[in-house]
Chain A
Amino acid sequence: MTLTQTATLPLEVRDLTVVYREQPVLWDVDLAIPPGQLSAIVGPNGAGKSTLLKAVLGLVPRASGQVWFFGQSLREARARIGYVPQRNTVDWDFPTSVLDVVMMGLYGQLGWFRRPGKREREAAMHCLEQVSLQDLAHRQIAQLSGGQQQRVFLARALAQNADLYFMDEPFAGVDAVTEEAILQVLHGLKSQGKTVVVVHHDLETVREYFDHLTLLNVQVIASGPMEETFTSENLRRTYGAKARTGG
């Protein structure tokens, strides 16, 4: 424990390093995410954006570093954290329905052994309404389009009712309707005072969609309010370095 950690910050990362076969994927990352804002993590391919989310959530081993959520450890703050993985990380042929997947977001509140019931079904249905998928509630997930899959994941995250959300590339390869639905959900979360950290790949839209920006390329290049951070100098340092090493 250090005395300098800030209890009000939803996420604080210090000296985080992740190594994959002697190759650093993340190097000495320090990060402070402000509360109640939409925050983007941007960087070139292989910059470690997804790894950063996974390392913070304890899904990949860390070589070093400390992470606090609202000044607490992951174990203490787990119920306040929601996670939306990339949608291609799961098998969409899995035999289950849309409503069932959304209810999975409530499993954390249920804990071990307790089964979801009527209350959970209604809560899940309510979350599906927020992404306009209530008509597909009983559809098999194998029959969804890519955009619908992403919205199902979003509804599942809403069901978690967290205070801090991590979303891995939610805008990747979705149709315009889904993009609009995601934005609405993000603004809804923000208006409820929640914090959302999104791995994003599109420099065209990042300034319009988000309040806070972290530029990442193995190390944190810059992190701060969008207007101060989104500068051509910072972008060159983030993407240019990659271009040099790449060839």
Chain B
Amino acid sequence: MNPDLVIVTTAILVSSASALVGTFLVLRRMALLCDAISHAVLPGIVLAYWLSGGARATLPALLGAAAAGLVTVSLVEWLTRTGRVKNDAAIGIVFPALFSLGVLAVSLYFRQVHLDLDAVLYGEIAYAPLNTLWLWGLELPESWLVMGLLTLLNLLFVLLFYKELKLSTFDAGLAASLGFAPGVLHYALMALVSFTAVGAFQSVGAILIVAFLIIPPATAYLLTRRLPTMLLLAVGVGVVASLGGYALAIWLDASIAGMMATVAGVCFALAFLFSPLEGFLTTRLRRRRQRLEVAARLLVAHLAHHPQPVSEQEIMAEFGWHPRFLRQAREKALQAGWLEARREGLWPTSRGRALGQGPSVP
């Protein structure tokens, strides 16, 4: 089996599984909670590992992690409900507590065994081709099986409960009053996030999984106002981060998971700046264009009231405009065919005069 192929496909599966559930986390404003879950699954994994007699079995680890994830969510919600601790503080209290339990357990009891902290924190996607298992006479990477099943599970969940997830995310009150049990869906989603976190654990580690769960959906959110498109775009950004991150990591001989998260971050930055919806730069450019448009109309309307052409000096004095701004507004008006430049100064065309009678200019 080609190791490059195994690593890249594993990463694509991790990012797809994450983007599917991550989209709903972002929309529910629970990004921070997913950070907590991804860390707090550690004691669950350690406990499952210990209960299964030290065998590196995947199924007990998944179940242990899911249990730990749900314990985290329940504890956070319980603490918040007491009214003594705010939600963000509750998250900040619960997950270090659980995570440190896991770290202590690993360092105290599993010193000799194959469960080292670096792999837990940072993941070792480079080892993905080494862990294989035999299935139907084929030697397959374990990560394909685990992440493939998790991606399928998340996909089925989103497809089957799409309507119910959308409703309970947008308006939990209506969902409840229609009898759709938003609480059950909430915990099911949290269980899947925990599953995904532990499945992705071995690949990208406890810290970077958050990058895969949150960054692609957050990027997609900046690019669309349709939920199906957002889901597709989130998966797409994850795939781009996987492919681009792997290529760059090989080229620069850097951490694979780290580079994938970096590429995801770059995607977010690009969407933030250039999104056609409300990108930071796009909005500024649009505002600038609008301001120039208004200035050009103002200029034309002003000139239309004068019996003869007006010099640029006079215009600058009257409007208090900077020469550069006048030049830009003039260019705009000339391009639109509202003005013509004569020897004595600027003079409105018939189109420009017609503009002045329109309702859009006061």
Contact = CB atoms under 8 A, between A and B. Distances in A.
A207 to B, nearest CB: 29
Contacts of B164: 107, 112
Given A58-B176, A95-B224, A96-B170, 6 more contacts: A59-B173, A78-B177, A78-B179, A85-B171, A97-B226, A104-B174
Interface centre among B164, B174, B176, B229 (most CB of A within 10 A): B174
Contacts of B49: none
A55 to B, nearest CB: 12
14 contacts: A57-B176, A78-B177, A83-B173, A91-B27, A94-B169, A94-B227, A95-B221, A95-B229, A96-B166, A104-B170, A107-B167, A110-B163, A115-B163, A140-B225
Nearest to A156: B174
Interface residues of B, number: 26
B160 interface: yes
Given A78-B179, A96-B166, A107-B163, A89 B227 contact: no
Contacts of B178: 78, 107-108
Nearest to B29: A91
Contacts of B160: 113
Contact of B177 (A21, A57, A114): A57
Interface of A: 21, 54, 57-59, 75, 78, 81, 83, 85, 89-91, 94-97, 101, 104, 107-108, 110, 112-116, 140, 142, 156
A104 B227 contact: no
Given A115-B163, A142-B225, A94 B27 contact: yes
A152 to B, nearest CB: 11
Contacts of A58: 176-177
A95 B171 contact: no
B174 A91 contact: no
A59 B177 contact: yes
Contacts of B176: 57-59
B110 interface: no
B227 A95 contact: yes
B180 interface: yes
Contacts, number: 71
A85 B171 CA distance: 9
Contacts of A107: 163-164, 167, 178, 180
Nearest to B179: A78
B193 interface: no
Nearest to B230: A95
Given A78-B178, A85-B174, A104 B167 contact: yes
Interface of B: 27, 29, 83, 160, 162-164, 166-167, 169-171, 173-174, 176-180, 221, 224-227, 229-230
A108 B163 contact: no
A89 B173 contact: yes
A223 to B, nearest CB: 23
Q: Which 6 residue pairs of A and B lie closest in terms of their CB atoms, listed nearest first?
A: A108-B178, A140-B225, A83-B177, A95-B225, A85-B173, A90-B171
Contacts of B169: 94
B155 to A, nearest CB: 16
Nearest to B166: A96
Contacts of B227: 94-96
Contacts of A101: 170
Contacts of A140: 225
A145 B232 CA distance: 29
A94 B170 CA distance: 7
Nearest to A114: B163
B316 to A, nearest CB: 38
A85 B179 CA distance: 15
B230 A108 contact: no
For B166, B180, B225, B229, the residue with the greatest tally of chain A CB atoms inside 10 Å of its CB is B225
B151 to A, nearest CB: 21
A106 B255 CA distance: 50
A49 to B, nearest CB: 15
A89 B173 CA distance: 9
A108 B170 contact: no
Contacts of B162: 115
Contacts of A94: 27, 169-170, 227
Contacts of A113: 160, 163
B278 to A, nearest CB: 9
B274 to A, nearest CB: 19
B173 A108 contact: no
A81 B174 CA distance: 11
A116 B163 CA distance: 9
